[in-house]
A and B are shown apart, each in its own frame.
Chain A
């Protein structure tokens, strides 16, 4: 084995200049301190994204993106194709877990103030990745063309339609017409399997290059720390996390395979108990609670504009948090962040615990 290995290295070395990569990998170190647990979540996102690509490519083999065939093809995958249920369940469950881990990754970077210079662009590319993955989730949800996903898409896109002035044009653009139809399914499919993956790979590439070249940040006030080698120590610890999450995915898929639901009927009533995927429920429940009118303005317009403003502020936080930029503690930002996290948790919990809220 050693002979063969050496021969191969001798062949590849002058062609790929492997030693440059090896030198980099051997020098790279990761600080270890009481918060370094949170450094693992970015790597878990990466791992889950790879699962999504692999299972997504497999699903493409049998899925058909048309109103007449989409739901039927998903049922075919679930009932006829060997292990089709497994591939589809892994894709659907991992999508949900991935968004959850993204939220954890983002908020841990937020509370550790990892967005401080020179990592502003790491933060912004990360934020864009979160937006892209929410779009992945939203577009993927429609593809089985079932009752729930049909109405979730109607509500979700009408939310875009609420934006003053440009809303209607944006809504028509997203839907491919005035309402959710076959054109919408084609468009969402196009986004989900072509446009979003291309942008995600590009932005993820920038994000990871930035992380590699800048190294891990240390939280404010943590002085000299122990450091461990990235390779192999950190990678080995990373892979423990990957294996754990893989076990979780496997377990939920076997015990709770993803359902296909009844086929969408655009001329039937919306089913009772409808709700979007969990990561949109905090906005969904907010929309249940805002009054129809707040001063003469329609309540949902204010709510939607509020969420957009919140997202914008979150994206720009590296430039707003001037104290952290000067390596000073910024408890105000931590407090606001904590309030946002609590809001998201409470609203999400209410969705499931008090579905009749405001009824």
Chain B
């Protein structure tokens, strides 16, 4: 290696190093800091008797929406309301007794399974318990 190549390499390398050391903090600055997600364990979703048979209610579960359904046979069920396709929030349809996602016409039965449309997986099901006039919903263990 002659002197000129050495100097060129040295100056070029230093320049690159400088650029990287300026860019690094900027890139790290742009990446959002991780925030603790609000994870709900067990919450009161509704009062007993609040829901008529064949109706449903959306409630806040941690940082997302969940749905509590009272089926026409009076059975209580809870699911994550986030569609497994591209994260829209499903809505309860009383006349078909299904959960419908209007974004790409996905449809789930009241066990959370996909009946039609593009969603690839069933809705996440939650545990429902009734205790002392309140309906509790919790994540399945």
CB < 8 Å: which of B81, B88, B102 contacts A154?
Answer: B88
Q: Which of A228-283 contact B (CB under 8 A)?
A: 266-274
Q: Is B120 an interface residue (CB 8 A)?
A: yes
A21 in the interface (beta carbon within 8 A): no
Interface size on B, residues (CB 8 A): 32
Q: Is B89 an interface residue (CB 8 A)?
A: yes
Contact A358 B105 (CB under 8 A): yes
The 8 Å CB contact of A274, one of B30, B103, B107, B118, is B103
A145 to B125, CA, bound (A): 30
B105 x A269 contact (CB < 8 A): no
Q: How many A-B residue pairs have CB under 8 A?
A: 93
Residues of B within 8 A of A293 (CB): 120
- Given A159-B86, A288-B118; A274-B102 close (CB under 8 Å): yes
Please tell me if the beta carbons of A154 and B86 are within 8 angstroms of each other in the complex: yes
Residues of B within 8 A of A290 (CB): 118
Q: Please determine whether B63 and A178 come into contact, CB atoms closer than 8 angstroms.
A: yes
Q: Please give me the residue from chain B that is nearest to A272 by CB atom.
A: B102
Residue contact A300 to B118, C-beta cutoff 8 Å: yes
CB distance from A92 to the nearest CB of B (A): 22
Size bracket, chain A contacts: 35 or more
Minimum CB distance partner of A284 in chain B: B104
Task: Produce 1/0 per residue, A283-303, CB < 8 A to B.
Answer: 010011011110000111000
Cα–Cα distance between A359 and B101 once the two chains are bound (Å): 10
B37 at the interface (CB under 8 A from A): yes
A177-B32, A273-B102, A292-B114 in contact; A268/B65 too (CB < 8 A)?
yes
* B residues with CB within 8 A of A: 30-32, 35, 37, 58-60, 63-65, 81, 85-92, 101-105, 107, 114, 116-120
